[in-house]
Structure 1
Amino acid sequence: MPVWERSSTARVVPPARPRKLAKVPFVELADGRLQGVVSSGSDTGRVYVSSIAAGTYAFACSTNNNRPCGGARGSFCNHLRALVTEAVLQYGAGRVARYLKADTPDAEPGAAALVSAMTATRPAQGDTSAAAPVFSRFLRHLAYLELEPTTLPVPEMHWFPPTRAVA
């Protein structure tokens, strides 16, 4: 068994390219969506939870307390565009395009080509029901950043109870 399988830490896939976390501090490909947290351009105390559904490109953008984004009325707002840009930096354009099922003419599209391909289909505005779990996961990640570095097990990260031999 490799050493990494016997530890309480998980391997992390390094980003495709380095990115700055100030504008989009949290981005993930999960639950059939590209989703994340995007900082407001006008208010430093406000963040938006943005998501784009794979395949349909249904989008949602709202503040962390469920106020709708004023720019996401019928098309992608700047928060959604920033989310796609940072996802391309984090995961690579090919992986993001495959996950979202976006057909682009380029073999390795950039963020602008991905946004163009998705908006050309005239996606509908989706529901914001995913905002709360996404924001909650973001806050959980922030809490882990406050922990002191250690090689000892972190109790919050032990997801599986110990097993006992059954007699």
Structure 2
Amino acid sequence: MSDWEKRSAARVVAPARARKLAKVPFVELADGRLQGVVSSGSDIERVYVSSVEAGAYAFACSTNNNRPCGGARGAFCNHIRSLVGEAVLQYGAERVARYLRVETGGEEPTAASVTNAMTGARPAPAATKTAAPVFSRFLRQLAYLELDPTTAPLPEMQWFPQARAVA
């Protein structure tokens, strides 16, 4: 067993490129969507939970208290464009395009080409259902950042059941 396998912390895949967390502090490819938390440009206390569904490109953008984004009316708002841009920095353009099932016309994908290729984008009918779990994961991630570094196990991070000895 290697040294890293004995620790309570897992190795994290390094981002494709460094990104600034002030504008988009949380981005993930999960639940069949690109989703994350995007800071408001006008109010420091407001954040938006934005998402784009893979394949169908249905999108949603609302504040952390479920008020709809004023800019997401029939097309991607700036929050979603920022989310796509930061996802490309975090995961790489190829991985984001593959996850979202976006065809960029044979060219090397970029954040702009991925966004532009999602021409069938439309607002998602049940946008508020996706916001709560995403925002909850974001808050949980923030809580882990406040913990002191340790190699001791964290009970909530032990995902696998322990094997029981059979007598």
The amino acid of 1:124's aligned partner reads: R
Distance 1:143 1:161 in 2: 24
Change (3 A) 1:11 1:107: farther
The residue number in structure 1 matching 2:101 is 101
C-alpha RMSD of matched pairs (Å): 1.2
User: What is the match of residue 58 of structure 1?
Assistant: 58
Map of 1:82 onto structure 2:
82
**1:125 maps to which residue?**
123
Query: Paired residue for 1:27?
Result: 27
Kindly provide the amino acid, as one letter, of the partner of residue 112 in structure 2.
Answer: A
Q: Deviations over 1:112-153 (max 9, x none)?
A: 1111001x22x2211221100000000000000000111222
Alpha-carbon distance change, 106 to 19 in structure 1, aligned in 2, over 3 angstroms:
farther
1:113 maps to: 113
Report the alpha carbon displacement of residue 109 of structure 1 after superposing the two structures with TM. 1.3
- CA deviation after TM superposition for structure 1 residue 164, in Å: 1.4
1:71 CA drift (Å): 0.4
Match of residue 148 from structure 2: 148
Q: Return the alpha-carbon distance in structure 2 between the equivalents of residues 106 and 7 of structure 1.
A: 43
Structure 1 position 105, deviation (Å)? 2.1
CA separation in 2, counterparts of 1:79 and 1:116? Answer: 15
Structure 1 residue 82: Cα displacement: 0.2
Paired residue total: 165
Give, in whole Å, the separation in 1 of the partners of 2:161 and 2:34. 31
SS in 1 for 2:12: coil
**Which letter does structure 1 place at the counterpart of 2:94?**
G
* Structure 2 residue runs without a partner (length 5+): none
Q: TM-score, normalised by structure 1?
A: 0.94
Distance 1:157 1:114 in 2: 34
Could you give the per-residue CA deviations for residues 69-101 of structure 1, whole angstroms, max 9, x where no partner exists? 000010000000000000000000000000000
Moved more, 101-110 or 30-39: 101-110
SS, match of residue 103 in structure 1? coil
| Percentage of matched positions with identical amino acids | 73
SS at match of 1:109: coil
Amino acid at match of 2:39: S
- For 2:91, the equivalent position in structure 1 comes to 91
Question: Aligned AA for 1:158?
Answer: Q
Quick one: distance in 2 between partners of 1:151 and 1:164?
23
Q: Distance in 1 between matches of 2:106 and 2:162?
A: 48
What secondary structure is seen at the aligned counterpart in 2 of 1:130?
helix
